[in-house]
Structure 1
Amino acid sequence: MESALGLDSYQATMMILVFVVLGLGIGALFLALFLPVRWKLKYWMEFAFVGLLFVFVGYGDWRSAEIVEAYQAEMAQAGVLDEPALEGASDFDQEIKVIAFQWGFAFLTEGNEISRNAAVVQPGETILFRIFSNDVIHGFNIPAVGITAEFDPGKERDVWIRAPLEPGKYLIQCLNYCGIGHAQMKAWLVVEGAES
């Protein structure tokens, strides 16, 4: 796999081309501002410049898609992309349905208990979250357990975590800007037990 920071990667080539074009553009701007005689670009030059930008974008998109496909093929060959069996809740200590909406989360447990702002779990439990959005694209992030997921409206997304061993309240937040109340779209993962 290519290193994103490697000097021989296509990203480095693209960055060099971008800086060359940027430098030429800034140079042309200074020439236009400070030369005693005014000059104007020919129309074909303007079209050529815009065409060059389209070539850069097309090349970058093509190479990015090529790298993603190679990465996915490598992961599939290693078995990393195989979907885990999430059908049976027996693999998990708890299954919680999450309904995301502007601008909050609702948690529905297997016992049909609903909470507007907290998912209550036990230390070390494996939790399956079945996440659903009923309006816009939202994100589901629990920084303490290193999970981030994005999900589209009308489609269920399953993610699972192992609850922290230390009892306490852990932040759950939306990471996708979902409207004016996005900053308040927070809830808590409550790990029960006496805090030390």
Structure 2
Amino acid sequence: MHDALGLSSGATTMFAIMVALGVAGVVALLAALFWPPRWRLSYRAEVVFAVLLTGLVVYADLDSARVYRAYESALPEAAVAGTARDAGEAAAGFDRSITVYTYQWGFLFIDASGAVSRNAMIARPGEKILFRILSNDVIHGFNLPAARITTEVDPGAVRSIWIRAPARPGKYLIQCVDYCGVGHYQMKAWLVVEEHAADQAHHGQH
């Protein structure tokens, strides 16, 4: 099972730091208002605090730039994505059919054999894949920037879209683009494109 997210992810760490700073700020404000003895931080402590905040802003900006670059990446091929009018189209014309359960705050991928993967799925280069997307709780979005396709799914509904996997192996971002609660910012998954062992052996002979 592949898991693209975890407690050690940069987004979770950043969120924890911001919560800690917010709590510390509220405590400091209450102390300044209601604590009789007046006190003041030393000049050195003020400089350290300013440097820390600047570092956090720079880190957040760099991380946002990384996500933006992933969003701007696109497949070079034509006809790489689209919608399927009927979920009954799942068996015809596609290499694979994947059921995607969206939930607060992640993605669950289930293939035709029943194999389950959380927040990541593996595909072969150029594979034509049909996604049948459902919501387990609230409205969620399903956005795959590399395929230039986005849809949203309501609880109880099914959305069917298809993509052609990128020809180049790598990790391609999948993200929710509909606000779905406090964990929305970390609702991401990955389309992991890997060559099959037989394909690698074939390429190695040429």
TM-score, normalising length from structure 2?
0.52
Structure 2 gap segments, 5+ residues each: 1-82, 201-206
Where 2:181 maps in the other structure, the secondary structure is coil
Matches within 5 A, 1:127-138: 127-138=129-140
RMSD across aligned positions (CA): 1.9
Equivalent in the alignment of 1:73: none
Deviation, structure 1 residue 179 = 0.2
Point out 4+ residue stretches in structure 1 off by more than 3 angstroms. 81-86
Deviation, structure 1 residue 90 = 3.0
Q: Using CA pairs below 8 Å that are at least 6 residues apart, which structure has the higher relative contact order?
A: 2
- Alignment of 1:169 onto 2:192: no
Where 2:121 maps in the other structure, the secondary structure is strand
Shift in CA distance, 82/120, structure 1 to aligned 2, threshold 3 Å: closer
Asked if structure 1 preserves the Cα contact closer than 8 Å seen for 2:85 and 2:160, the reply is no
* AA partner of residue 90 (structure 1): A
Equivalent in the alignment of 1:17: none
Equivalent in the alignment of 2:151: 149
Deviation, structure 1 residue 180 = 0.1
Measured in 1, the distance between the counterparts of 2:147 and 2:102 equals: 19
Measured in 2, the distance between the counterparts of 1:158 and 1:84 equals: 7
* AA partner of residue 141 (structure 1): N
Asked if structure 1 preserves the Cα contact closer than 8 Å seen for 2:141 and 2:177, the reply is yes
String of CA shifts for 1:28-86, please: whole Å, max 9, x gaps.
xxxxxxxxxxxxxxxxxxxxxxxxxxxxxxxxxxxxxxxxxxxxxxxxxxxxx994784
Shift in CA distance, 125/155, structure 1 to aligned 2, threshold 3 Å: same
Where 2:155 maps in the other structure, the secondary structure is coil
Equivalent in the alignment of 1:184: 186
Where 1:140 maps in the other structure, the secondary structure is strand
Structure 1 gap segments, 5+ residues each: 1-80
String of CA shifts for 1:134-193, please: whole Å, max 9, x gaps.
110000000011110011011111010111111111000000000000011000001112
Where 1:176 maps in the other structure, the secondary structure is coil
**Count of paired positions:** 114
* AA partner of residue 117 (structure 1): N
- Alignment of 1:116 onto 2:118: yes
Equivalent in the alignment of 1:92: 94
TM-score, normalising length from structure 1?
0.55
Asked if structure 1 preserves the Cα contact closer than 8 Å seen for 2:139 and 2:178, the reply is yes
Where 1:91 maps in the other structure, the secondary structure is coil
Asked if structure 1 preserves the Cα contact closer than 8 Å seen for 2:129 and 2:165, the reply is yes
* AA partner of residue 153 (structure 2): F
Give me the identity figure in percent.
61
Larger Rg: 1
